[in-house]
């Protein structure tokens, strides 16, 4: 039952598959206590700032709660067995994207996010968008949709600034500058794929779709 989220993908009107070529970064000093054990409560460190396990679990918990409310709960849950890794990968990717956008002097306003979300809802309404978001490859709870809209708007503007064939350069620079470290329990940060191994969370898989998906998609 899982499928891409066409309503959230529509604004970019393109398919982008990016991989950043850089050194493989694994959990290191900021994640470790003096004993060499992983610092409790840290899922990752990005640019010197912690992503706590509690913030990660909150995102996962919101998705699981929404999945459990769905009439397709069993299917949705069985299709996302490694949800913690999936969500952590996306949280890290967002920070890399934010750094690249900041370096380029690119920003997105709250109003732009609101306008883009309304456009994506179209005639289907908020409930249909939320259902589609929950069924996406990286599932989103209702409260996570605005962040995903912002993610896509920033990515779209970076693509416009640099061109899709050259956007890898600022993303690689941002990824390297952030010195990403990941708690080994979630895997290792693969800078070439810009995601957590072994779970694949590539930067973007955009599908060109004219206007909106059919109602009920």
The full DSSP string for 133-183 is HHTSSS---GGGHHHHHHHHHHHHHHHHHH-TTTTHHHHHHHHHHTT-EE-
Of the candidates 98, 145, 157, the residue with the CA atom closest to the CA atom of residue 117? 145
- Six token digits for residue 177: 């500058």
- Six token digits for residue 61: 């918990």
pLDDT tens digits along 32-44: 444 344 467 999 9
Other C-beta atoms lying within 10 Å of the C-beta of residue 167: 20
CA separation, residue 36 to residues 29, 47, 117, 127, 159 (Å) = 9, 21, 45, 47, 41
Q: Is 151 or 164 the better-scoring residue by pLDDT?
A: 151
Q: What is the percentage of the chain residues whose pLDDT exceeds 90?
A: 55
Select the highest-mean-pLDDT range: 5-19, 31-45, 165-179: 165-179
C-beta separation of 87 from 186 below 8 A: no
Give the position of tokens 């840290």. 42
Q: Does the pLDDT of residue 20 top 70, yes or no?
A: no
Residue 189: per-residue pLDDT: 80
Q: Is 157 or 21 the better-scoring residue by pLDDT?
A: 157
Q: Does the pLDDT of residue 4 top 70, yes or no?
A: no
Sketch the domain layout of the chain as residue ranges. 6-197
Task: Report cis status (omega within 30 of 0) of the bond before 197.
Answer: no
C-beta separation of 8 from 120 below 8 A: yes
Q: Is 40 or 107 the better-scoring residue by pLDDT?
A: 107
- Mean of the pLDDT values across residues 11-31? 34
- Six token digits for residue 213: 């998906």
Per DSSP, 50 falls in state E
CATH number of 6-197: 1.10.4030
């Amino acid at each position: 039952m899982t499928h891409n989220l066409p309503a959230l993908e529509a604004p970019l009107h393109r398919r982008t598959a990016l991989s950043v070529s850089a050194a493989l970064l694994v959990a290191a000093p900021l994640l470790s206590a003096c004993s060499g054990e992983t610092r409790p409560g840290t899922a990752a460190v990005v640019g010197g700032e912690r992503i706590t396990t509690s913030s990660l679990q909150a995102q996962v918990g919101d998705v699981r709660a929404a999945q459990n409310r769905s009439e397709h709960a069993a299917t949705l849950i069985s299709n996302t067995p490694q949800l913690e890794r999936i969500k952590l990968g996306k949280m890290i990717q967002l920070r890399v994207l934010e750094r690249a956008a900041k370096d380029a002097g690119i920003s997105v306003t709250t109003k732009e996010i609101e306008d883009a979300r309304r456009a994506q809802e179209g005639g289907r309404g908020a409930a249909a968008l939320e259902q589609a978001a929950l069924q996406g490859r990286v599932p989103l709870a209702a409260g996570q949709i605005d962040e995903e809209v912002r993610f896509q708007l920033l990515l779209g503007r970076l693509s416009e600034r640099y061109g899709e064939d050259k956007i890898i350069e600022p993303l690689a620079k941002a990824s390297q500058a952030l010195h990403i470290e990941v708690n080994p329990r979630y895997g290792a940060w693969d800078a070439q794929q810009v995601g957590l191994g072994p779970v694949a969370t590539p930067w973007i898989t955009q599908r060109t779709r004219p206007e909106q998906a059919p109602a009920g998609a």
